[in-house]
Structure 1
């Protein structure tokens, strides 16, 4: 017969589920609010892609490397971002053969609003948990999560 669970006991499998649920909760709230602020077409994968494009722009090949996907998959993401008005393909200026993907003003606005919304969401967590406790959680995560773990290829990693 299995031993009954003790009150408050945690199991190893719960940690990644709780971390993922927290992440998912924040991302879902962000996208609900972004939609209300005029960005209904933005999806989590597009946010990763727009971050990877950055202020200076990238080629589709470089975007694929940053996202951990093929050049073709990156190209499809760029097509979708362009159709929604968040990115555009432009000439390089230095190398006429090279096309660079750049964010449009709409894409820059979506990222700026995302940054502001993440501040609001963090403030909500601080109001619920207390600022000190939230800082302790953040500090603890910084201690156990290697710096190299922060990459923009989360969507590709989840897809397998």
Structure 2
């Protein structure tokens, strides 16, 4: 990709690449900072999985459905989150036959730190671009992004 297309015509392929580059810039910096704050093994897929688990917990089937992956793949993801100390398995208080996956204190810490880091990164972008231009960018993306695009299965979609 080149930056030579500064006139009114830009190649169509540049837009998705720029959006992806912006996403990668934010996510890579997020994970660099998380590593320095006690979460060196956190990966983007873990964040999506923790969102799929939610604050009240979820079954492996629920997690798989929310992430757009098989129950078996969800089970492997859950096993990894448990190994890292981000989640735990527990009995569902409303149905003793069901096993829930719940965030641990370490998992909540990662999510809380992620939110704070992303707020700081947004503030940096605001400083670089100006708040008005950043808000215009966000508003424009809200306008053109399909409502169905706000899903947790992004890592699966990117992997296909």
What band does the TM-score fall into relative to the shorter chain?
over 0.9
Counterpart secondary structure, 1:96: strand
Q: CA 1:7 to 1:118, structure 2 compared with 1: closer, same or farther past 3 Å? A: closer
Number of aligned residue pairs: give it. 156
For residue 108 of structure 1, what is the aligned residue in structure 2?
108
Q: What is the rounded CA distance, in whole Å, between the counterparts of 2:74 and 2:84 in structure 1? A: 15
Q: CA 1:102 to 1:12, structure 2 compared with 1: closer, same or farther past 3 Å? A: same
For residue 85 of structure 1, what is the aligned residue in structure 2?
85
Counterpart secondary structure, 1:151: coil
**8 Å Cα contact 2:64-2:71 kept in structure 1:** yes
The answer for unaligned runs of 5 or more in structure 2 is none
> Is 1:42 aligned to residue 37 of structure 2?
no
Runs ≥4 in structure 1, deviation > 4 angstroms? none
Q: What is the rounded CA distance, in whole Å, between the counterparts of 1:145 and 1:20 in structure 2? A: 14
Q: What is the rounded CA distance, in whole Å, between the counterparts of 1:22 and 1:70 in structure 2? A: 29
RMSD of the TM alignment (CA)?
A: 1.1
Q: TM-score, normalised by structure 1?
A: 0.95
The answer for unaligned runs of 5 or more in structure 1 is none
For residue 51 of structure 1, what is the aligned residue in structure 2?
51
What are the residue-to-residue correspondences of 1:4-83 with 2, within 5 Å?
7-8=6-7, 9-83=9-83
Deviates more, 1:82-91 or 1:5-14: 5-14
